[in-house]
Structure 1
Amino acid sequence: MVERLRVVHRNGAGREVQVPAEQAGTVELLDREPVWVPLRHPSERSIVTYWWSATTSRHVGCRSLQRLSMAMLLDFHPQVSDFAAWTARLEWVERGRVRRFVPDFFVRTAQGATVVVACPSASGASKRWEKQRQVLEQACSAAGWQLGSPRLPQGHALTNLRWVARYRHPRNADEAVQHRLLAAFARPRPLLDGVEACGVPRLTALPRLYHLLWRRELSLDWSVPLNPASVVRADAAPAMDPFTVRGRM
């Protein structure tokens, strides 16, 4: 247990405010300005970028490509209703010094729970990371948050999702074409066969098909490469779970 564990966030006026971790559960963190933004340093290999979220129609900050993939998975998760980056900072006293840690994402679920996601370094968990995780667990317990445990899919599943995510924007939606595609894939069939059967030119139908895959209205086997022979269906088949969570999503 660490001493004087506090949560720092910005209020409506943009000023930093500190509250004890026990009171942080009542603070709305997802619509606040970031308390920290990473700066690119020549000695670091990380790449700071932003993910445009189809869930929120906002950009979400990512301090590395690993976090960018996690933002994509959060955006794809059916139980995620909102998420934001760097909107709160943990502060505590250790050996007489103030320590700080900024989780990667704060997530709201469809059930109204708050899930905190913090990703270890791509090189693996260090002693420093393990300490930060222990503090984060303490903060979650005090505030009534859940702690998300990132689990990126591997191989073809991640490659396929990255491809489909390119078509997440609503501009790729077309109700008339989507109805035709859903009818064409009412029974499982190869991707290209269904596209040809829907009666819409291929270059028009494919972006709409990928958009439906992103929205989970169509499904496929994510573990095999996405190609013209991939079997696509319009039923509610289970999709990959982007991360495990202590508690329910």
Structure 2
Amino acid sequence: MADDAGAATAPGIRDIDLVRVRYVDGEGTEHLIRLEEAADTPFEDGRMVRAIPSYRGQGHMPGRYWAATLGDLVEYESYLECKWLMLLDFDPQVTAFATQPLEFDAIDAGGAWQHTPDVFARRQDGSVLLLDVKNPEMRDDPRVRLQEERTGRVCGRLGWDYAMVSEPDEQRWTNIDLLSSARRPLHLGEELAPRLLELARNPVEIGELMRFMEFPDLARGVLFHLMWQQRIVTDLDRPLRDSTLVKAAEEAQA
């Protein structure tokens, strides 16, 4: 989230004239490449291009998120950024993601600028989603709007999707946050998964499902794990209650 978008100069910026991309590969070697080369570079396999600062009294809370998609820890710069890492982790189309993955070093009609996007995500089909995570109070800052415009223009040239995001939908986030408590691999209760999938072949309320189980407290954790994996699905835009209907996904039934 730290960046230098340059001065918020006059509107109508023309197409970017020159862009180079700096990144650090998995072996720790730094590279500076032309924008055209970036389209085929596996940034998800590299290291962070900048360290995330951590000091007493800072205005946001950095940390590390354990990603089920990766089986590893990913550093984040703020709690808001951590929320978006979790949403990416939950997305079945996302196969890998990395934070602080690269730096754009560019010159356009407004002058020279540099920017390190927050998150790089790779999807199953090979496409890319680049995210910048911004405090909603900063979205109207002219420098932030200019950064969004510039980064979006660069991503357009690469064929990448780009979004500047703030707070996710509150109800959906609350539900996914609850399911994330069971995102790690199953050990205790693993044998309950086939029974839950069988019972959920047709829509069934969570409370009713638990009444079929000998150890309902343990079974609820296994259910949440299956829901995190989206082998059992429901409407996550509504509160999760015992009256919530769930159903085994078609792939799980097959």
* Coarse TM-score class (shorter-chain normalised): 0.7 to 0.9
Match of 2:182 among 146, 162, 167: 167
Change (3 A) 1:228 1:25: same
Report the 3-state secondary structure (helix = DSSP H, G, I; strand = E; otherwise coil) of the residue aligned with 1:118: strand
Match of 1:122 in 2: 136
**Superposed displacement of residue 94, structure 1:** 6.2
Q: What TM-score, normalized by structure 2, do the two folds share?
A: 0.83
Report the 3-state secondary structure (helix = DSSP H, G, I; strand = E; otherwise coil) of the residue aligned with 1:27: coil
Report the 3-state secondary structure (helix = DSSP H, G, I; strand = E; otherwise coil) of the residue aligned with 2:65: strand
- 1:154 paired to 2:169: yes
CA distance in 2, matches of 1:27, 1:104: 17
Match of 2:196 among 174, 181, 186: 181
Match of 2:238 among 224, 233, 237: 224
**Superposed displacement of residue 99, structure 1:** 2.7
CA distance in 1, matches of 2:167, 2:88: 11
Q: Percent identity, please.
A: 23
Amino acid at match of 2:196: L
Change (3 A) 1:153 1:131: closer
CA distance in 2, matches of 1:12, 1:71: 20
Note the aligned Cα RMSD (angstroms): 2.4
CA distance in 2, matches of 1:208, 1:164: 10
Is this contact kept in 2: 1:23–1:143, CA < 8 A? no
- 1:145 paired to 2:163: no
Match of 1:193 in 2: 208
**Superposed displacement of residue 176, structure 1:** 2.7
CA distance in 1, matches of 2:92, 2:167: 16
Amino acid at match of 2:31: V
Q: Point out the more displaced range, 125-134 or 211-220.
A: 125-134
Deviation digits for residues 100-148 of structure 1 (CA, Å, limit 9, x no counterpart): 2111111111101122111222324121111112221232133332224
Amino acid at match of 2:36: E
Match of 2:19 in 1: 5
Report the 3-state secondary structure (helix = DSSP H, G, I; strand = E; otherwise coil) of the residue aligned with 2:69: coil
Unaligned runs of 5+ in 2: 1-14
**Superposed displacement of residue 45, structure 1:** 1.5
Match of 2:120 in 1: 106
Change (3 A) 1:24 1:231: same
**Superposed displacement of residue 224, structure 1:** 2.7
Match of 1:240 in 2: none
CA distance in 1, matches of 2:83, 2:250: 24
